[in-house]
Amino acid sequence: QQKVQQSPESLSVPEGGMASFNCTSSDRNFQYFWWYRQHSGEGPKALMSIFSDGDKKEGRFTAHLNKASLHVSLHIRDSQPSDSALYFCAASEPPDTNAYKVIFGKGTHLHVLP
Amino acid sequence: EAAVTQSPRNKVAVTGGKVTLSCNQTNNHNNMYWYRQDTGHGLRLIHYSYGAGSTEKGDIPDGYKASRPSQENFSLILELATPSQTSVYFCASGERARGDSDYTFGSGTRLLVI
């Protein structure tokens, strides 16, 4: 079973609209979360991390984490065509453990329509 | 600028042949990772390393070996390539997070095994 589940698989929003993604970890050992973005033909690039309950805002991007349910979401306001990409949720073990594996979800394709 | 460089960018190999994918990082990160990306599976961890001389099995290590001869270099070796190993391979480097992500990906190697 996939340890990191993402939804939806694909999402289309109009330019200027709000895009929202969801992610859940099924393993309580993996409760430190990141969001990555991958444009076509490139490697993934880190957008932001979130380790504590609540919201974290960076520019147009806001992440929300509920540690009790191991659910994290990402919201992009004022979406731009350049935001069209594959968005990955990633979860890791506590950063002070030797294992420190990072597990990725399958990703959500975002299409921002001009 | 700190970076992760992969070579080759594209590779065609014959079934049963040996393939070596190379990765070099200038981030001075202790940890390095090899992932493969396939449609419908997202990014799956093959092997990773905590530092020079160490290699660890990820979630899908069968058919792959890894080598970490130095802090900067991490190779993925397919001793007997099979068509099922046709994929896009990504190398990444990272540190144990101290509050933010240092996970940096290369641009990927597209491997076709015929």
CB neighbourhood size of A104 (10 A): 23
CA angle B67, B30, A73 (to 5 degrees): 110
pLDDT for res B101 = 58
**Residues B59-77, mean pLDDT to the nearest whole number:** 97
Judge whether A108 is closer than 8 Å to chain B, CB to CB.
Answer: no
The DSSP secondary structure of A24-92, one letter per residue, reads EES-TT--EEEEEEE-TTS--EEEEEE-SSEEEEETTEEEEEETTTTEEEEEESS--GGG-EEEEEEEE
Q: Which residue of B has its CA nearest to A37?
A: B105
Q: Is the pLDDT of residue A100 over 70?
A: no
Of B31, B59, B108, the CB nearest to A100: B31
Q: Is the pLDDT of residue A25 over 70?
A: yes
Judge whether B99 is closer than 8 Å to chain A, CB to CB.
Answer: yes
Q: How confident is the model at residue B100 (pLDDT cuts 50, 70, 90)?
A: low
Question: Contact at 8 Å (CB) between B76 and B68?
Answer: no
pLDDT for res A34 = 92
CB contact under 8 A, B45 and A101: yes
CA atoms in the 13 A half-sphere facing the CB of B88: 17
Question: Contact at 8 Å (CB) between A23 and A73?
Answer: yes
Q: Give percent of chain B above pLDDT 70.
A: 92
CB contact under 8 A, B96 and A49: no
**Residues B51-59, mean pLDDT to the nearest whole number:** 93
**Residues A4-22, mean pLDDT to the nearest whole number:** 97
Q: Is the pLDDT of residue B99 over 70?
A: no
Question: Contact at 8 Å (CB) between B111 and B8?
Answer: no
- Residue of higher predicted confidence among A92 and A113: A113
Q: Is the pLDDT of residue B14 over 80?
A: yes
Of B42, B48, B50, the CB nearest to A107: B42
Of A46, A101, A106, the CB nearest to B101: A46
pLDDT for res B103 = 81
pLDDT for res B96 = 64
- Per-residue model confidence as pLDDT tens digits over A57-94: 999 999 999 999 999 999 999 999 999 999 999 988 77
d(CA B53, CA A37): 31
Of B35, B41, B50, the CB nearest to A106: B41
Q: Which of A23, A65, A100, A108 to mutate to test the interface with B (most CBs of B within 10 A)?
A: A100
Judge whether B105 is closer than 8 Å to chain A, CB to CB.
Answer: yes
The DSSP secondary structure of B19-59, one letter per residue, reads EEEEEEE-S--SEEEEEEEETTTEEEEEEEESSTT--EE-S
Integer distance in angstroms from the first to the last C-alpha of chain B?
37
CB contact under 8 A, B108 and A102: no
Q: Is the pLDDT of residue A101 over 60?
A: yes
pLDDT for res A35 = 95
3-state secondary structure at position B84? helix
Contacts of B48 in chain A (CB under 8 A): 101
Q: Is the pLDDT of residue A95 over 80?
A: no
Task: Tell me the nearest-neighbour CA distance from A13 into chain B, angstroms.
Answer: 22
Q: How confident is the model at residue B55 (pLDDT cuts 50, 70, 90)?
A: very high
